[in-house]
Amino acid sequence: MFIDSAKITIKAGDGGAGKVAFHREKFIASGGPDGGDGGRGGNIVFQVDDNLSTLADFRYKRKYVAQNGEDGKGGRCYGKKGEDLVIKVPRGTLLKDAKTGRLVADMSGDEPQVIARGGRGGWGNIHFATATRQTPRFAKPGMPGETMELVLELKLLADVGLVGYPNVGKSTLVSVVSEAKPTIANYHFTTITPVLGVVRMGEGQSFVIADIPGLIEGAGEGAGLGHQFLRHVERCRMLVHIVDVSGSEGRDPKQDFQTINAELKKFNPELAEKPMLVAGNKCDLATDEQIENFKSFVEKQGYEFFPIMAAIRYQVDPLLKRILELLSKLPPVKRFDPEPVPLTPAETTNRHEVKVTNRDGVFVVEGEWLVQVINSVNFDDYESLQYFQRVLINTGVIDALREAGIQEGDTVNIYDIEFDFME
């Protein structure tokens, strides 16, 4: 089954906690703190794998978590870094933030991309030793790893995209000019997944051609299979529009041509600007008058026309040579630039933002950053409590409590840690 979109959740590893430890050695009194730092959490890394062609693997596994960093140890030993989690995707996969739609990365190159970074390891108590605090009995926990919900969208990388109504001969053309073997039959939507083929024109000359499933009227709004696969046309350097010039199925070739072009423009206006050649297939079923009439119609709109019979490869080579000539002048396959993370205006940013609520005489303090601080404090140690008090003063928590109307002796609650307020 061809799966070209998926939604997954990724989480980088958390940093390991710092260690509270003291040096113990014979004949050495008061060895001092020697707790090591925690290890950094593993990153989430995406890597292109050319052996993959769909996103089917992500249909069954949707959560990817990297390894956490190890906690620090005594003897100034640092915790081991968590291993990176490498996620392999097909070439041409776009990674988008599911919440904002922001493009995070375009996996078209060979270089791996770090999408979510692991958390830093927490400091051991060796970092908190000072001249006046020689036995710190607290350390810092590790920082959490980045978490993100991603939408994976596969856009195949091809030089040439074949577009047109169903059953006009797109798959037949791919089968005779390349080694690809798409399903071919005399009914609509024989091709239900894109097929890539490599066309070799001689020493060092080749290009990739993509057979896009047939489009119908309304494809831009999702009719038929078109909307599902039109995204694969976006990367193509140029298009070849295949038309049944004989009208063998009772449709007007001119109307078919206009309808498909309109659907491409409706889906993405940039598609209408791509260079396009027009191939009139099934010429053996058409009269000379029909062919000349359609050729005149196409050339008046500025397109080059090539009459072909794909099934017997009649006049296919001139089309291929013209494609190769145009490709030599066109820019490479389109790659999308990642979008930067939107910046929050400085005046609205406060990394120590707190919310104080008076609940029946108890002043409840809330702030995400406070959780990290509380986890680092040893409330049974006097010096650690002094450190906690300085943090509350320096970050504005005490001022926020005063603004909320707190009085001496009132109870303060910070994430289930309660104490009496003292001036």
Number of folded domains in the chain? Answer: 3
Q: Which residues are annotated as a binding site for Mg(2+)?
A: 171, 191
Residues 25 and 62 in one domain: yes
Q: Which residues are annotated as a binding site for GTP?
A: 164-171, 189-193, 211-214, 281-284, 309-311
Compute, in degrees rounded to 10, the torsion defined by CA atoms 230, 231, 233, 235. 170
Which CATH number do you get for residue 304? 3.40.50.300
pLDDT at 3: 60
pLDDT at 47: 95
0.95 cut: is pTM over it?
no
304 within a domain of the structure (yes/no)? yes
* Of the candidates 181, 230, 167, 237, the residue with the CA atom closest to the CA atom of residue 208: 237
* Of the candidates 375, 371, 382, the residue with the CA atom closest to the CA atom of residue 38: 375
Residues 94 and 11 in one domain: yes
Which CATH number do you get for residue 133? 2.70.210.12
172 within a domain of the structure (yes/no)? yes
Residues 145 and 114 in one domain: yes
Residues 61 and 175 in one domain: no
Q: How far is CA 9 from CA 40, 44, 83, 87, 291, in A?
A: 20, 11, 18, 12, 54
335 within a domain of the structure (yes/no)? no
Which are the contacts of 192, defined by CB distance < 8 A and separation ≥ 6? 2, 213, 225
Residues 164 and 146 in one domain: no
Q: Which residues are annotated as a binding site?
A: 164-171, 189-193, 211-214, 281-284, 309-311
pLDDT at 342: 67
Residues 144 and 174 in one domain: no
d(CA 193, CA 2): 6
Residues 105 and 144 in one domain: yes
Residues 256 and 309 in one domain: yes
**Which of 155, 182, 203 is the endpoint of a domain?**
155
Domain that holds residue 323: 160-328
334 within a domain of the structure (yes/no)? no
Which CATH number do you get for residue 372? 3.30.300.350
Which stretches of 178-287 are DSSP H helices?
Answer: 226-229, 253-267, 269-272
pLDDT at 238: 92
Residues 111 and 259 in one domain: no
Structural element, H or E, at residue 401: helix 397-403
Q: Which two tokens stand for residue 194?
A: 């894109």
Residues 4 and 151 in one domain: yes
pLDDT at 185: 55
pLDDT at 306: 93
- pLDDT truncated to tens, each residue of the chain (423 aa)? 456 789 999 999 999 999 989 988 887 777 789 999 999 999 999 999 988 878 888 888 899 999 999 999 988 899 999 999 999 998 889 999 999 889 999 998 899 999 999 988 988 988 888 787 788 888 888 888 999 999 998 887 788 988 888 888 888 898 888 887 766 555 555 555 677 888 888 777 888 888 877 665 554 455 545 456 677 778 888 999 999 998 888 888 999 899 888 888 888 888 888 899 999 998 988 889 999 999 999 999 999 999 999 888 899 999 999 999 999 898 887 787 888 766 445 444 445 788 898 877 889 888 877 877 777 777 777 877 888 888 888 888 898 999 989 988 888 988 778 888 887
340 within a domain of the structure (yes/no)? no
Q: Do the bridges between strand 238-244 and strand 160-163 make them parallel or antiparallel, or are there none, so unpaired?
A: parallel
* Of the candidates 324, 326, 302, 108, the residue with the CA atom closest to the CA atom of residue 200: 324
Residues 31 and 176 in one domain: no
**Which of 328, 360, 376 is the endpoint of a domain?**
328
Residues 174 and 39 in one domain: no
